[in-house]
Amino acid sequence: MPIRGTPLAVLLLMAGCSMFAVQDTIAKVLGEAGFSPVQIVWARYTGHLLLATIAPFLHRGPLPWRSLRPKLQFARSALIACATLCAVTALKYLPLATAATIAMTAPLFVTLFAIPVLGERVGWRRLTALGIGFAGVLLVLRPGIAEFDPMALVMLASAAISAFYLVLTRITSRIDHHEVSFFFTAVVGALASLPFMPFVFEMPGGWNLVLMIAIGFWGGIGHLLIIMAHKHAPAPVIAPFTYTQLMVAVFLGWLVYDRWPDGFTWAGAAILIGSGIYVWQREWTLARTGRAVPAPRT
């Protein structure tokens, strides 16, 4: 019996998030090998662009470059390209588990940014959960003590920028087909990094060449799987399973670097995950009861 509906959506989301964890691991390996973050970002989005260009010809889908809001698509795509550059820069220095935990703050930022951008109301319960979640992040960052790495702030900036990208994606998803957004994400990321390539490009050889090709494949397929997951189930239902990326990152950090998260990271991740799941469940409850009404704009 084929898997459909929510179970299929969960499997697709978990597979996509796992691929993002693999993508981050590859980015860290390439960064430690001395390649520029800009070159890694270029490889990531160029591979994604090849997939986005081929996809419409595999079925009768819309032309991916025909958007009803091209300026908005360019804006959201530029944001995720910037977020990726920040993440790749930070990954060279941070443990995979730490970077993945900080990246998980994006849903918290989404809730905050949705207030001014989408006019959503956020009650005291969700605001309290957000505060607790960011307290968990402080356990991971540990500012003011010897273990604090300033690159953690770069990763946090990546999460905040990604959140704003996700808020704009909520708007474009109401206007354009998902393949349009998939294409714009790829083409803007690839073209934005291309002018810098003559200054930073270094020809990879051996396994590094394989990894440069692979990072675009894993990133592009992961992005596509997550889009497909949201076609089969509402976002709040499957959103908690995005933490698969964190679990896979912990495993890959142990497998590749023989490094296990410390107690502070585990505690911060647990607090962050708990608050994130509560926020999603609260949003889903309000949406089902019809109480999640956007505030009027004046």
Reduce the secondary structure of 201-224 to three states and give it as a string. CCCCCCHHHHHHHHHHHHHHHHHH
Domain around 100: 5-289
Token pair belonging to 284: 């889903």
* Residues 6 or more apart in contact with residue 272 via CB below 8 angstroms: 101, 104, 105, 108, 133, 136, 137, 140
Token pair belonging to 274: 């708990």
C-alpha to C-alpha distance for 183 and 170, rounded to whole angstroms: 16
Q: Does residue 167 lie in a domain region?
A: yes
Token pair belonging to 193: 């990094």
Q: Does residue 166 lie in a domain region?
A: yes
Query: How many of the other CB atoms lie within 10 Å of CB of 162?
Result: 23
* Residues 6 or more apart in contact with residue 47 via CB below 8 angstroms: 213, 215, 216, 217, 219, 220
Q: Does residue 297 lie in a domain region?
A: no
What is the total count of domains within the chain?
1
* Residues 6 or more apart in contact with residue 274 via CB below 8 angstroms: 132, 133
> Could you read off the pLDDT of 208-243 as tens digits, one per residue?
999 999 998 888 888 888 877 877 776 666 777 888
Q: Does residue 296 lie in a domain region?
A: no
pLDDT (tens, 9 = 90+) of the chain, 298 residues, equals: 455 677 888 888 889 889 999 999 999 999 999 999 999 999 999 998 888 887 666 556 556 667 888 899 899 999 999 999 999 999 999 999 889 888 888 878 877 777 776 666 767 677 787 778 777 777 777 665 556 678 989 999 999 999 888 888 878 877 877 778 888 889 999 999 999 999 999 999 889 999 999 998 888 888 888 877 877 776 666 777 888 888 899 999 999 988 888 887 888 888 888 887 777 777 667 666 655 444 333 2
Q: What is the value of pTM for the model shown?
A: 0.84
